[in-house]
Amino acid sequence: MNFRKKLSTLKVPHNKHTAGVHSICVDPPKEVLLPMTMHAGAPAVPVVAVGDYVRVGQLVARDEGRFSCPVHATVSGTVTAIEPYQQADGTKTTIIRIESDGKMERDPNLKAPKVETLDEFLDAVKSSGIVGLGGAAFPLYGKLDALRRNKIETVLVNGAECEPYITSDHRTMVEHSDLVVKGINVLKKYMPEAKFVISIEANKPDAIEEMKRVFADDPTVEVRELETVYPQGAKQVILYNVTGKVVKGGQRLASLGVIIINVTTLSKLAQFMEDGTPLIDRCVTVDGSAIAEPKNIVVPVGTPAKYLIEQAGGLSTEPGKVLIGGPMLGHAIGSLDEPIQKATNAILAFNKKDSKLLEPSDCIHCGRCVSVCPVFLNPTAFDRAMRLENENERADTLERESLNQCIECACCSYVCPAHRPLMETNKQAKRFVRKHYAAKKEGGK
């Protein structure tokens, strides 16, 4: 991975309309849909049956295999179905449908975990179902497992939230600074020599002020104001901009003595360690030119997008596109019944004018995609490789061009004057490479 002295970044419109809007809690929806693949890793396996009554926080699916993650009931009510489900991105999974009784009865077995050793702590975190809430959805225990093997010198608490519109992490820092403090204190027990750096973009002055206030007397915690650019929150970018370190392809951050943890993830860890509440809800930014009343709304995981939009005053006009996630990294949904997942931080609905698709044309070899790539890759090389007929040659070319180092930030697509879907091509290429080499490995047995 090659880095310039100053990483290439973009100045994108902030559109942080809800930055000053206090998050609200609403009544639970009539039904939640819980996919078994709300995390990076192997799918969870249901442990309940149709007809079972479940309470908030009760285990409904166990983790299975490497870096899997358990799933918990997010409402109290009755399991009405366990069935196949095709998600908006085309992938297939299994979902558990729970019809809410509106009572939100808490599982009486939930209590603060008792931990004394690192092993007990990691086992507890594994049972919490907490994943990285910055977007990757990697199980938190998998990240913290690096403490067994590496001496962590720096913990970067990622509060950058660089995507346009999204302000859910911002509201965490302003409204729940006590949980951020508690989360850092939890980690200090297992990283007593580490320095903590809370990294926040400059367009969140109230969050910066609040973090400085609550950590004013703690010399082990630094609040770092970062330039407001995209993709400041990407792990490779924030790592370099804060520490000057570079992570190479295939290298784990922990081997550099660094762990990066999203600020809302940290607050969820604090809540779990305090009272045993697993990851069951999310603060979601609901915004966009087709939303009547943009808001930050706390809802159970599995809540349909339609319900969130209703709580934000409904649609002000017929939408041309609805996204789960941000405009750079999110994906369009074809149905408002699509549920939010553990790592969902936004529902954005745009009017038809703002959703108009521009017709792609031939590459003009301007080099803009190369110039803005934070990790100095050549997206056009991936595009050309995907057009090769020979699959072996295609896979070898993609690997040679360091496809796996693409951080999928969409900077290339954003600046392309030919409107080519470069990031989507990169995603397709990654799926192809994984499938290709898995088939070769299987065939070699």
To which H or E segment does residue 331 belong? strand 331-332
Q: Over its length of 445 residues, how does the chain's per-residue pLDDT go in tens digits?
A: 444 455 667 899 999 999 999 999 999 999 999 999 999 989 999 999 999 999 999 999 999 988 899 999 999 999 999 999 999 888 899 999 999 999 999 999 999 999 999 999 999 999 999 999 987 899 999 999 999 999 999 999 999 999 999 999 999 999 999 999 999 999 999 999 999 999 999 999 999 999 999 999 999 999 999 999 999 999 999 999 999 999 887 788 999 999 999 999 999 999 999 999 999 999 999 999 999 999 999 999 999 999 999 999 999 999 999 999 999 999 999 999 999 999 999 999 999 999 998 899 999 999 999 999 998 899 999 999 999 999 999 999 999 999 999 999 999 999 999 999 999 999 999 999 999 988 887 776 5
Looking at the chain, the number of H-run helices and the number of E-run strands are 14, 17
Kind of pairing between the strands at 295-300 and 281-287: antiparallel
SS3 444: coil
- Is the torsion defined by CA of 400, 402, 408, 414 positive or negative? negative
pLDDT at 3: 44
Pairing relation of β-strands 258-262 and 154-158?
A: parallel
pTM metric for this prediction: 0.94
Provide the pLDDT for residue 6: 57
DSSP summary character for residue 329: T
Domains in the chain (CATH in brackets) are: 29-103 (2.40.50), 118-275 (3.40.50.11540), 280-355 (3.10.20.600), 368-443 (no CATH)
Q: How many other CB atoms sit within 10 Å of the CB of residue 51?
A: 8
- According to DSSP, residue 432 is labeled H
SS3 of 123-143: the string is HHHHHHCCECCCCCCCEHHHH
The amino acid occupying position 85 is Y
How many CA atoms within 13 Å lie on the side-chain side of 273? 23
Q: Alpha carbon of 230 to those of 55, 206, 233, 298, 425: distances in Å? A: 41, 20, 7, 26, 20
Q: Which two tokens stand for residue 104?
A: 């939100």
The number of angstroms, rounded, from the C-alpha of 49 to the middle of its chain's C-alpha atoms is 29
How much is the pLDDT for 90? 83
Burial degree of 22 (CB within 10 A; 0-12, 13-18, 19+): exposed
